[in-house]
Structure 1
Amino acid sequence: DIQLTLVQTIPLSGAIIVTTPQEVSLIDAKKGLKMFEKVNVNVYGIVENMSYFIAPDTGNRYDIFGSGGGENLAKELNTKFLGGIPIDPRIREGGDNGKPIVYEMPETQESKIIIGIAEKLNETLSANNSTENDIEIEL
């Protein structure tokens, strides 16, 4: 397991679990979260990647890989659901070319979703580290 090797090699102060809505991914995410708990690594929340697809020509939403998996897993495991990121080629392209969508197209709904996830994470980190050094996430 990559997570276990990482924890044994580098002291981690926390983790974010990223999953897709598919059952097989949720099973792996649950195993990862349980492993982090066993080695006393804080899990700050769950992000669901590829949550849904909005067809650009019709605006219709399609839950290609199912829906609600990440949110349900967060409830089951008593952790925060940070949000769901849609399937959008612009998100991938921004990652590939080093120009994230949140910088190139900050007004898009996809950017607002990603920024919202970052803000929720920042709130969680601030609450968990209120007596430790300040942590800042800059977008």
Structure 2
Amino acid sequence: MKVVIQRVSQASVTIEDKKVASIKSGLLILLGIVEDDTDDDIKWLSNKIVNLRVFGDKNGIMNTSIKDIDGNVIVVSQFTLHASTKKGNRPSYIKAAKPDIAIPIYECFINQLETDLGKKVQVGRFGADMKVELLNDGPVTIIIDAKDKI
């Protein structure tokens, strides 16, 4: 499981000209899933995200978390995070989990994130052609791979 986390001033997801998710200050999380992702990966990654200190404190130092600021989150599935570009110019997505495996993991991740955050998380739609708009704040962009936790 791999995420790209962007601290945003605002973000939204549009599908077929309909806005399905929108937040002000918070995090936009792009989530890529592989077949061997586990419940432990989900719990570890969710805990890491909600406690990641990427928001400014009263002195403007990145010392507070999304939970501390009661910020909002959008999660967007993105299998392309597991692209392999080693051979040729056309990326291979062979490492990305197929929908029958990825969807339950995606849903469990969202549920865990909501539990850890203590509030509803907004989402895109798994597998949909989505238009994601964001205003990256900072810019702050963090990449975390659950397989690198040890």
TM-score range for the pair, normalised by the shorter chain length = 0.3 to 0.5
The one of the two structures with greater contact order (alpha-carbon pairs below 8 A, sep at least 6) is: 2
More helix by share: 1
Greater strand fraction, Structure 1 or Structure 2:
2
The structure that has the greater radius of gyration is: 1
Normalised by the size of structure 2, how large is the TM-score? 0.34
